[in-house]
Amino acid sequence: MFKELIEAQKKPVLENEPLVGPVPLPRAEGHISYGGALRPGEGDAIAQYVQQGKRIPRRGEVGLSAEEIQKFEGLGYVMSGSRHQRMNAIRIRKENQVYSAEDKRALAMFNYEEKSKREHKVMADLQRLVQRHIGQDVGPPMIRLL
């Protein structure tokens, strides 16, 4: 009981404190499988950048913005992540795995929304039909297609 009292007193104090350090990127709800050959959490981390439409940082680029990286590359600097052909192939494969999983997720969400709209329309049509047969006219009349 004493512990709960102390925690209750600390809670409002902690809520008013400003955040210190980097804030985690927002993530999509639920767990998505990004395929094999990815380390634990690697697919989720890459997906956070994809969901925000940001460039995925490569090795040695973490902490720099996309504009800063392009500026450095324009000045002639070779970023450490773009030198090794094999590492680049692995990175591209991993990025493509995440992109395809995100595309599947977006397509599934779109299909779910479309199905929900169709079901809602059918339910509304059936309700109007039932109400018309009962004798109560509710809503606009149903349009008949010939």
Number of alpha carbons in the 13 Å side-chain half-sphere of residue 27: 13
* Residue type for position 119: E
Q: What is the largest CA-CA distance in the chain?
A: 79
Token pair in block for residue 37: 């050959």
For residues 145 and 127, the model is more confident at 127
CB distance 43 to 34 below 8 Å: yes
**pLDDT at position 27:** 57
CB distance 98 to 48 below 8 Å: no
Residue 94 neighbours by CB distance under 10 Å: 19
CB distance 95 to 46 below 8 Å: yes
CA distance 131 to 9: 57
**pLDDT at position 125:** 93
**pLDDT at position 63:** 75
**pLDDT at position 82:** 60
Interval 70-119: pLDDT, tens: 788 889 887 766 667 777 787 778 888 888 888 888 888 899 999 999 99
Please choose, from the candidates 115, 113, 105, the residue with its C-alpha nearest in 3D space to the C-alpha of residue 28: 105
Interval 19-72: pLDDT, tens: 777 766 555 555 677 777 777 777 777 788 777 777 777 766 677 777 787 788
**pLDDT at position 136:** 61
